[in-house]
Amino acid sequence: MNTSDKPNSPFKYSIRSATERDIESVIELLRPFVQARKVLRRTRAETLALLVTGFVAESDEHVIGFASVEIYSKKLSEIQCLAVDSRFQGNGIGSELVRHCVELARQRGVMEVMAISSSEKFLQDLGFDYSLPDQKRALFCQLRSREEVYRELEEAGE
């Protein structure tokens, strides 16, 4: 177990690799973030897949944070589902989760880790920047709504 206790933190927490046993706790942790549209909705199967390369933060044996790194290829991976229980935010837990994800990508030989966030400063403080600063930004073309896709999955029983 990797302990990430902060000297100025009012509580102790640890970061460890996620396991399948964490599925219910992670889904529960993510629920308010999904409802607030801060994290994308995931099926149970998608969440299980993210646990393989994910990390949980725990305090008193309760999951208080989660993040995963989805590895697409040797060139690119992406930070997914970064969430920290609102009662524990501001204590460096999110930063530690991102660092663990980045280190896993580094160990797997990935060239770049991408992260999408509403807080550029948070990511820049962790070493993220635009691939071509002041020149290009990532843009997306949404072909189908996520709600449409999830409705179809639910109808298919997935």
Query: Where are the chain's structural domains?
Result: 2-131
* Distance (Å, whole) CA 106 – CA 111: 8
Q: What's the predicted TM-score (pTM) here?
A: 0.82
pLDDT one-digit tens code per residue, 73-96 = 999 999 999 999 999 999 999 999
Amino acid at 154: E
Question: Residue for token digits 């599925």?
Answer: 23
What is the percent of the chain with per-residue pLDDT over 90, rounded to a whole number?
A: 61
Q: How far apart are alpha carbons 105 and 53 in whole angstroms?
A: 9
Query: Tell me: the pLDDT tens digits for 106-140?
Result: 999 999 999 988 778 888 889 888 776 666 666 67
C-alpha span between 150 and 134 (Å, rounded): 36
Domain 2-131 part of CATH 3.40.630.30: yes
DSSP 8-state code for residue 9: -
